[in-house]
Amino acid sequence: MLLKKYVIQKYIKFRLLLLVFLLITNLLILLGCEFLIFKSEPERTVFSFFNDLNLKDVERIYDKYLLNNDKLEIDKEDFNLLISKSLSSVKKIELKRTDLLKRNDEKAAVSANFIITYVDDREEIRTEEIFLIYEDGKWKINFEETFLSLKPQP
């Protein structure tokens, strides 16, 4: 009888610890997903874009984020060459924070704070404004406005 009571107490303790563990795990998962749950569509687009940049998935960047007019001006092969060359010295790009700066039905601007780690392990912290246009039911990056503004002025 005493052994049975002991086993039942251990079983209850085990179940309680398991429940607490599962609750903490779910809480951590939800906190990690907070970015995708509570951010605006343009911010989620910027998040996905930076993820694809980090993966150096140039084909996906071309297909998913390039505006239709831009696709008429540069084919996939040339775009792949251009972006691959730009990313050749980059080891990792880590997006730290986004903030929606402005948005209407057709355009948005998102501030992106990120860390670039180069192949020589040098790090650069940057905050840039990413411009987006709503096209074909999706937010796409306005590469011309975003990246021409990043060029050094003569």
CATH number, position 72: 3.10.450.100
- Phi/psi for 145 (5° steps) reads -70, -40
My answer on whether 128 and 114 are in the same domain is yes
Determine whether 111 is exposed, middle or buried from the number of CB atoms within 10 Å of its CB (0-12, 13-18, 19+). Answer: middle
My answer on whether 54 and 32 are in the same domain is no
108 within domain boundaries: yes
- 38: pLDDT strictly greater than 90: no
154 within domain boundaries: no
- 89: pLDDT strictly greater than 60: yes
Provide the pLDDT for residue 152: 44
| Strand 123-135 to 138-141 pairing | antiparallel
pLDDT mean over 70-80: 91
Domain that holds residue 121: 40-148
My answer on whether 33 and 46 are in the same domain is no
My answer on whether 105 and 30 are in the same domain is no
- How remote is the C-alpha of 83 from its chain's centroid? 18
105 within domain boundaries: yes
pLDDT mean over 10-18: 75
153 within domain boundaries: no
My answer on whether 52 and 33 are in the same domain is no
Provide the pLDDT for residue 120: 95
What is the domain count for the chain? 2
Amino acid (one-letter) located at 24 = I
My answer on whether 3 and 72 are in the same domain is no
Of 16-25, 82-91, 112-121, 134-143, the poorest mean pLDDT is in 16-25
Give whole-number Cα distances, 9 to 2, 14, 15, in Å. 11, 9, 10
My answer on whether 48 and 20 are in the same domain is no
Give whole-number Cα distances, 86 to 9, 33, 35, 36, 54, in Å. 62, 30, 27, 28, 12
Residue 57 neighbours by CB under 8 Å, 6+ apart: none
Which pTM value belongs to this model? Answer: 0.71
